[in-house]
Amino acid sequence: MIVSVIIPTFRRPDSFLRAARSVLRQEGVAFELIAIDNSPEGSALEAFAQIERETSVAFRWSHEAKPGVAQARNAALKLASGRYIAWLDDDEEAPPHWLASLLAVRSRTGAQSVFGPVRARASSDAEHVRFYEALYSRTGPATSGFSPRAYGIGNSLQPRVMFEDEHFDTRADQTGGEDDKLFALWAEAGARFAWAADAWVIEHLTPNRTRIGHGLKRAFAYGQGPCELAWSARNYPALARHMIVGAAQAAAYALASAIVLAGSTPRALMLLDRAARGAGKVLWFMEQRFYGEALARQPA
């Protein structure tokens, strides 16, 4: 039984090398490594050549020059031959037991998709480290088992057959959320999800992600997610409910953050995060671009 571990990457060659080398240290599991460089200029191609020199593990890669998060994932799936697909982001680093832990929960539950925790790690010299690490971390139950919900696709595992009829929606190339849309389709078809508490990874935060503006923009986009899914499913009562709740959250948390701002900036940031998520529910139709052409236009 082979697992295809997929790492899409965009202008992070050093970070990709760290992620790939963590995969190569996996224990007790047969795997292959799949990589996709999604930058127009092919910024990771030398890093791919370096991995080829370092390992005898099956390693296949491609350059998908059209920037877009769904484009990259779909290109990677074309190269995968394993019975299972495991996803690792290029800023993540997995411990040696990672794959085995995901597979153990899949074997025990039979769930169609298994997710693990993400422990965000910011540079020690960044301001408000605790805020950013909490913002980008993924937490869940303390024990493994079935989950009533899906999580993000980074640090997850699915049978490859799940992708034969459904692929990632390229309309989400710029905004992200391509995984949420796919998981929502699976849930409607009766798929089950599971949580692997021991299959944690570390997510290394780049300096641009530890800025207040970027952090609050992310929180705003997180808030938009439930409304976007309700709109896609034409579940208008759920959309209205999310918007009402969001309006109340935005007002309450914004006021609270203003009250504590003078005395406790970290606490104020936590409250602003909640206010931004609430605003995202209300203004769910305002597109936020984090990927694809939005990144490609930045200096390489």
- One digit per residue, pLDDT tens: the chain, 300 residues? 899 999 999 999 999 999 999 999 999 999 999 999 999 999 999 999 999 999 999 999 999 999 999 999 999 999 999 999 999 999 999 999 999 999 999 999 999 999 999 999 998 777 788 888 998 999 999 999 999 999 999 999 999 999 988 789 988 878 788 998 999 999 999 999 999 999 999 999 988 888 878 788 888 888 888 888 888 888 999 899 999 998 988 888 777 666 655 556 777 788 888 888 888 899 888 877 766 555 555 655
Tokens of 190: 């009766």
CB-side neighbour CA atoms (13 Å) of 211 = 7
Q: What's the confidence (pLDDT) of residue 136?
A: 92
Strands (E) in the chain, as ranges, are: 2-9, 30-37, 59-63, 84-87, 92-93, 113-115, 118-121, 145-147, 156-159, 193-195, 201-204
CATH class of segment(s) 2-210? alpha beta
pTM for this structure?
Answer: 0.85
Q: Where are the domains of the chain?
A: 2-210, 212-296
Ordered DSSP codes for 255-266 = HHHHHHTTT-HH
Q: Among 179, 198, 26, which Cα is nearest to 117's?
A: 198
Q: Which residue has the tokens 């953050």?
A: 257
Q: Among 295, 293, 282, which Cα is nearest to 228's?
A: 282
- As a whole number of angstroms, the distance between CA 36 and CA 87 comes to 12
Q: Among 246, 244, 239, 240, which Cα is nearest to 222's?
A: 246
Q: What's the confidence (pLDDT) of residue 6?
A: 98
- As a whole number of angstroms, the distance between CA 163 and CA 166 comes to 5
- As a whole number of angstroms, the distance between CA 108 and CA 144 comes to 10
Q: What's the confidence (pLDDT) of residue 115?
A: 98
Strand partners, 194: 114, 146
3-state secondary structure at position 84: strand
